Chain A
Amino acid sequence: MNILVIGCDQVGAALVRDLERIGHDISLIEKDSEQLKRLDSFDDYSFGGTALVGDPTDPDVLKQGGVENCDAVAAVSEDDSVNLMAAQIAKSIFQREKVICRVSDPHLQVLYHKAYGLETICPTILTEQAVFRALSK
């Protein structure tokens, strides 16, 4: 699959690495060029996709990143608003069907899933549940 990843913090970089390892073609958009250095920090892996420094909430930048031809979009930056805006643009302007969005605020996660049809993933809830499970063993 062609996958457009937005954000290259620790989550984004690890996601890009894992997706490339199983054979996906990755295009990456990140605001801050410094963050792209993370891609060089892994052992036994070097980034083979295309990376673009730019504002992921700008439709022109998303176009440059190949949003029109990708099979899926993953907005996983650290900023909820950036992810939610970029995901909505991908979904409603570029009509991408598979759009996944990282949302740290649990309230926003539920709302944007229900009201805007985005596939939202909430690290806060996932962490809480993991800790809860670990404690209830």
Chain B
Amino acid sequence: MKICIAGGGRVGRYLAQSLLANHHSVVIIEPIEAQCRMLADQLDIPVICGDSISMDILRTADAASCDAFVAVTGSDEDNLIACQLAKREFGVDRTVARASNPKNRELLHTLGVDTVVCGTDNLSHILEREIETDTIRQLLSLGGGTASLNEILLPENFAFAGKAIMDIPIPGNAILVSVTRDTELIIPHGNTVLLPWDRILLLTQDDTLHLLTEAWGLSEK
């Protein structure tokens, strides 16, 4: 894929590096000249020096030939406008914007950005979870950080040990995906029994995960 990145700061640079490692072709737009020089020295890719909300610059970067456009500057409003231009004027299929303000995640999506990533939000969710309990590990963040796949190690004193799943409360929006007992993987049904030291995979909406950790008594260490 060919990907255009608007914003050559730390996020833009690391993103470019990992995309290059995965054999994508990358072009970066960055307004600060010294930053451009550094990027061009470090990465063997075209770096366009200019403003990513300028049509001329987007044309120079050949945005129309890109499969995806990712705006990761520090300014949410610049990221919005750049994505709108990429989509409307250059017909880029997939636009992704970084939102620094968590409130803007939904807003930018409403205003037409395909995917909005909020680093501040994701990080605070992760920290929140780490603080909450160490028996839950997030494996995969989904839905732009609104949901996730989590691995939960059921403790020795698990409140519902020996009970069937259909008799265990699962509050909030969550689905039990699998149960691993020793080395055996079980696809659970209503009558599957949960035991201490089971490792379960749980798909859950992030804002309801705390309901489950409370109901299952996972918060106490």
Q: Which residues of A contact B (CB under 8 A)?
A: 55, 57-60, 79-82, 84-85, 88-89, 92-93, 105, 107-108, 111, 115
Q: Give CA–CA (A60, B107) in the complex, Å.
A: 12
Whether the Cβ atoms of B53 and A105 lie closer than 8 Å is yes
In the docked arrangement, what's the CA distance between A108 and B55, Å? 8
* B residues with CB within 8 A of A: 53-56, 75-78, 80-81, 85, 88-89, 101, 103-104, 107, 110-111
Contact present for B53 and A80 (CB under 8 Å): yes
Assess whether B77 is in contact with A82, with CB atoms less than 8 Å apart. Answer: yes
Contact yes or no, A84 B55, CB < 8 A = no
The answer on a CB contact under 8 Å between B101 and A58 is yes
Closest residue of chain B to A110, judged by CB? B55
What is the predominant secondary structure among interface residues of chain B facing chain A? Answer: helix
Task: Other than A58-B101, A92-B111, A105-B54, give 16 A-B pairs with Cβ distance below 8 A.
Answer: A57-B76, A59-B107, A60-B103, A80-B53, A81-B80, A85-B76, A85-B77, A85-B80, A93-B110, A105-B55, A107-B55, A108-B55, A108-B81, A108-B85, A111-B85, A111-B89
Q: Are B103 and A85 in contact (CB under 8 A)?
A: no
Minimum CB–CB distance for B100 against chain A, Å: 11
Report Cα–Cα, A84/B103, bound state, in Å.
Answer: 18
Q: Is the CB of A88 within 8 A of B53?
A: no
A89 lies within 8 A of B55 (CB): no
Is B103 a contact partner of A58 (Cβ separation < 8 A)? yes
Complex CA–CA separation, A35 to B19 (angstroms)? 42
Shortest Cβ distance from B88 into A: residue: A115
B73's nearest neighbour on chain A, judged by CB, is: A81
Query: Which residues of chain A are within 8 angstroms of B77 by Cβ–Cβ distance?
Result: 57, 79, 81-82, 84-85
Across the interface, which residues of B come within 8 angstroms of A81, CB to CB?
Answer: 53, 75, 77-78, 80-81
Residues on B with beta carbons closer than 8 Å to the beta carbon of A107: 54-56
Partner pick for A111 among B88, B103, B110, B111, CB 8 A cutoff: B88
User: Which residues on A sit within 8 Å (CB–CB) of B55?
Assistant: 105, 107-108, 111
**B80 cross-chain contacts in A, Cβ below 8 A:** 81, 84-85
CA distance A115 to B112 in the complex (A): 12
B117: min CB distance to chain A, Å = 17
A-B complex: 7 closest residue pairs judged by Cβ atoms: A81-B77, A107-B55, A85-B77, A81-B78, A81-B81, A82-B77, A57-B77
Contacts of B110 in A (CB 8 A): 92-93
In the complex, the answer to whether A84 meets B81 with C-beta atoms within 8 Å is yes
Q: How far is the CA of A93 from the CA of B58 in the complex (A)?
A: 28
Q: Which residues of A contact B78 (CB under 8 A)?
A: 81
Q: List, sorted by A's number, 28 A–B pairs whose CB atoms are closer than 8 Å.
A: A55-B101, A57-B76, A57-B104, A58-B101, A79-B77, A80-B81, A81-B53, A81-B75, A81-B78, A82-B77, A84-B77, A84-B80, A85-B77, A85-B80, A85-B81, A85-B111, A89-B107, A92-B111, A93-B110, A105-B53, A105-B54, A107-B56, A108-B53, A108-B55, A108-B81, A111-B85, A111-B88, A115-B88
Task: Please determine whether A88 and B111 come into contact, CB atoms closer than 8 angstroms.
Answer: yes
